[in-house]
Amino acid sequence: MNGAEALVKTLEAGGIEACFANPGTSEMHLVGALDKSKTIRSVLVLFEGVATGAADGYARMTGKPAATLTHLGPGFANSLANLHNARRARSPLLNIVGDHATYHIKYDTPLTSDISAYAAAAQSWWHRSESAAGLPAAAAEAIAAARAYPGRIATLIVPADHAWGAANGTAEPPAPVGPAPVPQLRLDEAAEIIRAGSAALLLGGKALSQRGLAAAGRIRDGAAARLIAETFAPRLDRGAGRVAVERLPYFADWIAATLAEVKHLILVGAAAPASFFAYEGQSSWASPPGCTVTTLAEPGEDLQAALEALAQRLGVETTTPARQAPSLPDLPSGELTAEGVAAVVARTMPPDAIVSDEAITAGIALYPATQGAAPHTWLNSTGGAIGDGMPLAVGAAVACADRKVINLQADGSALYTVQALWTQARENLNVATVIFANHSYEILKLELMKTGQAMSAGETARSLLSLGRPNVDWVHVARGFGVEAGRATTVEEFGKVFARALEHRGPYLVEAAIKPLM
């Protein structure tokens, strides 16, 4: 048995069931070992950022790490943007990065680089294999690091000679360690704050699971505390029949307005609200003046148990929380707008769908429109690095083959990882992609206004924020990658094409031609 085979067998023993790969010469023995695996599904991607984004989506839907396989430092560097998003989502994820043979590195050939520096930049646990014989133990350690609660990025660097060298047996990763309990003092403090009135719980991470929301709903209804979700929650189960929760807005002034009546903000797995960016002459702190901010539970603690214990302290543990009633927006007609897309999606979304949302400005109407739609799971791009929506959809579809995945996607962001369409076609993944084709970086136009640059903007500034000249033809792009596609310019057309996408077993892309807001 060589080192690569021992590593893969250790991955199998650690419960790794998927590997999103873009290998090269230094990973050929790892490819051979994956070829022999009967339990790991190996999925080829055409860009490493798709690999890490897909592994993130897979982890969010299963709670388990997937592996990625990338080629040397430059290949791994291509994956960093979506590793950033995965880290912000606190997703468990295991990167395997091939390197030159140890004796070859001294020759400083073109692909030689400091992979450990890239791993450190990703703020991940990382380890460089020290020998072929030690590779199984290193893999077991990497799996344990990835599974550290609530989830962590782990990177294992494998020199080629360790992959082809002799190894004896495999290693058994330790059992995952669960979350830490929340100190009793914090529970008592939170209960006292809620009894004082004008309190809100800001929920993040696993506090937004169905179990966490059920407990939070008891607190809301029995003790009069507001429930607010962090702006870019990694995963939120929502829709009719589930406990509804407000969403913290994106812009700081909107946040301030949302929290204007809140005197006490209690953090449950979420960070204190702050402006996404700094603006000249404006405060970065987004909580209203005089509002106290208290932490009930950190992300690495047992958020769900903390909410249940808090409900018990407040004497509302038997309260039946109100559930979201079915509610659908009116269906407009005529020229297609973002609001029209939102209405159609809300009215036709199948039960138990998974939504990967990277619609950005075009998606402002989506979240409220779908509040009372059929029950579904909502995934957000968590770290602000664009190009995550399509890869998340890939990972979610691999993880949940029996559920329809709907990718609501801004056109500019889609161009970062458009190669994901090819993987969807190759694997026949059940993904319906809606491209909001306004051919514009609308969010940057808003930022130009907020920074006071819009009034003096000339042709260069306008050109840098436009995706026109030429417009991307998304129907042809999709078909070029092997994905069926259609275009809509009216609400009526979109309803028909989107229905076709939902009925189609496999990937289907809808180009929703809408006008820019500005």
Please tell me whether residues 471 and 355 are part of one structural domain: yes
pLDDT of residue 458: 83
Of 62 and 451, the structure prediction assigns the larger pLDDT to 62
- Do 212 and 304 form a contact (C-beta atoms < 8 A)? yes
Which of the 8 DSSP states describes residue 410?
E
Region 96-111: mean pLDDT is 97
Q: Which tokens belong to 83?
A: 């590793």
- Do 316 and 193 form a contact (C-beta atoms < 8 A)? no
Nearest-angstrom CA–CA distance, 68 and 54: 9
SS3 of 407, please?
strand
Please tell me whether residues 299 and 348 are part of one structural domain: no
- Do 100 and 114 form a contact (C-beta atoms < 8 A)? no
- C-alpha closest to that of 50 among 34, 66, 27, 26: 66
Checking if the pLDDT of 226 tops 90, the result is yes
SS3 of 67, please?
strand
Confidence category of residue 375, pLDDT binned at 50, 70, 90: very high
Please tell me whether residues 160 and 191 are part of one structural domain: no
Please tell me whether residues 260 and 365 are part of one structural domain: no
pLDDT of residue 139: 97
pLDDT of residue 455: 65
Q: Which of 106, 129, 164 is the last residue of a domain?
A: 164
Region 103-107: mean pLDDT is 97
Nearest-angstrom CA–CA distance, 165 and 272: 50
Across the chain, mean pLDDT equals 95
Confidence category of residue 300, pLDDT binned at 50, 70, 90: very high
Please tell me whether residues 115 and 241 are part of one structural domain: no
Domain at 110, CATH number: 3.40.50.970
pLDDT of residue 518: 64
Number of domains making up the chain? 3
Please tell me whether residues 62 and 146 are part of one structural domain: yes
Region 465-478: mean pLDDT is 93
pLDDT tens-place string over residues 174-205: 999 999 999 999 999 999 999 999 999 999 99
Q: Which of 164, 198, 223 is the last residue of a domain?
A: 164
Checking if the pLDDT of 169 tops 90, the result is no
Is 422 part of a structural domain of the chain?
yes
DSSP string over 428-488:
T--EEEEEEE--B-HHHHHHHHHTT-STT--HHHHHHTB--SSPP-HHHHHHHTT-EEEEE
Is 10 part of a structural domain of the chain?
yes
Domain at 288, CATH number: 3.40.50.1220
Which of the 8 DSSP states describes residue 362?
G
Checking if the pLDDT of 168 tops 90, the result is no
Please tell me whether residues 16 and 128 are part of one structural domain: yes
pLDDT of residue 449: 78
pLDDT of residue 283: 85
Checking if the pLDDT of 439 tops 90, the result is no
Angle among Cα 192, 194, 196 to the nearest 5 degrees reads 75
Burial class (CB in 10 A: 0-12, 13-18, 19+), 460: exposed
Identify the weakest region by mean pLDDT among 5-19, 53-67, 180-194, 242-256.
242-256
- C-alpha closest to that of 345 among 435, 430, 414: 435
pLDDT of residue 252: 85
Please tell me whether residues 159 and 188 are part of one structural domain: no
Residue 253 structural domain: 184-313
pLDDT of residue 286: 84
Q: Which of 129, 164, 199 is the last residue of a domain?
A: 164
Checking if the pLDDT of 452 tops 80, the result is no
Checking if the pLDDT of 287 tops 70, the result is yes
Is 176 part of a structural domain of the chain?
no
SS3 of 26, please?
helix
**Cβ-Cβ contacts under 8 Å for 480 (sequence gap 6 or more):** none
pLDDT of residue 24: 97
DSSP string over 300-342:
TB-HHHHHHHHHHHTT-TT-----PPPB------SB--HHHHH
Is 475 part of a structural domain of the chain?
yes
DSSP string over 206-273:
GGGSHHHHHHHHHHHHHH--EEEE-TT-S-EEESTTS---EE--SSHHHHHHHTTT-SEEEEESSPPP
Region 408-435: mean pLDDT is 98
Please tell me whether residues 351 and 430 are part of one structural domain: yes
Checking if the pLDDT of 451 tops 80, the result is no
- C-alpha closest to that of 180 among 62, 312, 303: 303
Checking if the pLDDT of 218 tops 90, the result is yes
Confidence category of residue 225, pLDDT binned at 50, 70, 90: very high
Is 325 part of a structural domain of the chain?
no
Is 324 part of a structural domain of the chain?
no
DSSP bridge partners of 161 = none
Q: HSE (CB half, 13 Å, CA atoms) of 87?
A: 19
Is 476 part of a structural domain of the chain?
yes
Please tell me whether residues 272 and 400 are part of one structural domain: no
DSSP string over 164-190:
HSB--S---PPPPP-PBPPPHHHHHHH
Please tell me whether residues 33 and 148 are part of one structural domain: yes
pLDDT of residue 448: 78
Region 351-380: mean pLDDT is 96
Is 326 part of a structural domain of the chain?
no
Nearest-angstrom CA–CA distance, 490 and 515: 11
Please tell me whether residues 490 and 357 are part of one structural domain: yes
Of 498 and 289, the structure prediction assigns the larger pLDDT to 498
| pLDDT > 70: percent of the chain | 99
Confidence category of residue 126, pLDDT binned at 50, 70, 90: very high
Of 459 and 374, the structure prediction assigns the larger pLDDT to 374
